[in-house]
């Protein structure tokens, strides 16, 4: 992953951490349940965006290199990793 993508991911994750702390405060203050749920969903969406960004960087670097390389085992390994991530994302 390039430095720019890494720094953006770190920045976004710090933002999500702040958001989660805000959700905790909402619960401590006994805020309206639907408002809390909406904030949780917003944090989940932000995490999904970070995950997508990191996956895209991985596909453009590590996976591309493995696919273009001569090492069949490495190619199969990285493809299996991507399939595993996809399967995990599809679980309810």
Average pLDDT over residues 23-28: 98
Structure tokens at 36: 């809390």
- The domain spans of the chain are 3-89
What is the per-residue pLDDT across 72-85, written as a single tens digit (0 to 9) for each? 999 999 999 999 99
Report which DSSP code applies to 2: -
Query: What is the CATH number that goes with domain 3-89?
Result: 1.20.58.1000
For 78, other C-beta atoms within 10 Å of its C-beta total: 19
Question: What pTM was estimated for this model as a whole?
Answer: 0.84
What are the Cα distances from residue 57, in Å, to 5, 15, 38, 49? Answer: 7, 20, 29, 12
């Amino acid at each position: 992953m390039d430095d720019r993508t890494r720094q953006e991911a770190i920045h976004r994750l710090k933002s999500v951490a702040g958001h989660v702390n805000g959700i905790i405060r909402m619960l401590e203050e006994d805020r309206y349940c639907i408002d809390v749920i909406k904030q949780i969903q917003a944090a989940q969406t932000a995490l999904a965006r970070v995950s997508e960004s990191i996956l895209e960087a991985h596909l453009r670097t590590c996976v591309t290199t493995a696919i273009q390389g001569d090492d069949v085992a490495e190619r199969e390994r990285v493809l299996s990793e991507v399939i595993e991530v996809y399967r995990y994302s599809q679980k309810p």
